[in-house]
Amino acid sequence: MQHFLDLAGWRSEEIRELLDLARFLRLEFKSGGNKPVLRGQTLAMIFQKPSLRTKVSFETGMNQLGGAALMLGPDEIGLGKRESIGDVARSLSRFVQGIMARVFAHEVVLELAQYASCPIINGLTDSQHPCQALADVLTIQDHLGRVEGRRVVFIGDGNNVAFSLAQAVAHTGGHFAIATPPGYELSEDNIESIAQIASANGSSFEAYQDPVKAVRDADVIYTDTWISMGQEADSARRLQDLAAYQVNTNLLKYANRNAIVMHCLPAHRGQELTDEVMDGSHSVIFDQAENRLHAQKAILVKLLA
């Protein structure tokens, strides 16, 4: 039984297969509908944090594949409070065929996987967002033809989205660069994981402080919120520390002429990126949101069908 917890747990070849499957399912869906390959199956969706895209794309994705999804919000099951994580996993496994979880500590999805007898999908933890990253490389392929050899530059906080994106770009042969202020870098462990994946695929990783230096020759400019869910108490300091890392038309001038701009959403217009960039001709942000659906359907079919 396979889980989808960390892109380091998947071989690059399997990631490429997932991307092919996502494209197939997208075409099938747009040509009249998907075959109900998950008929009779239910996905439980555990949310300790809010969501728009993850909730809606997993639920509609399950429906389109003939299955169903069950929403379990933060107040419903009291994961680890009302009941231990292991007991939640063991009980849920008797009712459903898969569990998607959005939680704070990454260890929670690892513990769910330890005790569940069905696949666990990581729908975002404090340190990773692998479903997002799979949709992101699919979007880069859609717009630039391939990830291989492309320069993908992340600007801002070295957060969960940045780490999973770097792993996904490493799996698909791209060159990843990140520009962060001091104190917001990816961790040494993260960099080691990225480097390990990159070495097998001719990919590279670079870290900068200066966003202008990082963005030179960029094919993709990617940003995310400066205040991730759970960091609200630290907002004032983060806004100040990251103020010079805004993706705006001035920064875009240093990238390749046809560079695309990406953001996992939700965006904070006027903070990490301007309206002008978000609504401008380089932005592929809502294609990226749509690709959550197609990428996750591939994960669901691979793990549950």
- Candidates 105, 207, 229, 267; binder of ligand NVA (CB under 6 A) is 229
**266 prior amide bond cis, ω within 30:** yes
- Active site annotation includes 292: yes
Active-site option among 263, 292, 294, 296? 292
Cα separations (Å) of 270 from 200, 226, 244? 39, 12, 12
Q: Of 21, 212, 265, 267, which one interacts with ligand CP (CB under 6 A)?
A: 265
Q: Is position 132 annotated as part of the catalytic site?
A: yes
How many residues belong to the site for ligand NVA (CB under 6 A)? 9
Task: Please list, in sequence order, all residues whose beta carbon lies within 8 angstroms of the beta carbon of residue 190, skipping any fewer than 6 positions away.
Answer: 127, 158, 163, 166
Residue 276 identity: E
- CA dist 131 and 21 (Å) reads 14
State which of residues 34, 93, 127, 132 lies at the interface with ligand CP (CB under 6 A): 132
Q: One symbol per residue from 49 to 78: x for binding ligand CP (CB under 6 A), - otherwise; what is it? A: --xxxx------------------------
* 224 is an active site residue: yes
**Candidate list 102, 171, 282, 294, residue with the active-site label:** 102
**Chain-centroid distance, C-alpha 138:** 11
Rounded Cα–Cα distance for residues 108 and 89 (Å): 11
| 48 makes contact with ligand NVA (CB under 6 A) | no
**Does 256 participate in binding ligand NVA (rule CB under 6 A)?**
no
Picking from 187, 61, 178, 69, the residue whose alpha carbon sits closest to that of residue 131 is: 61
Where in the sequence numbering do the catalytic residues fall? 102, 129, 132, 224, 264, 292
Residue ranges binding ligand NVA (CB under 6 A): 124, 159-161, 224-225, 228-229, 264
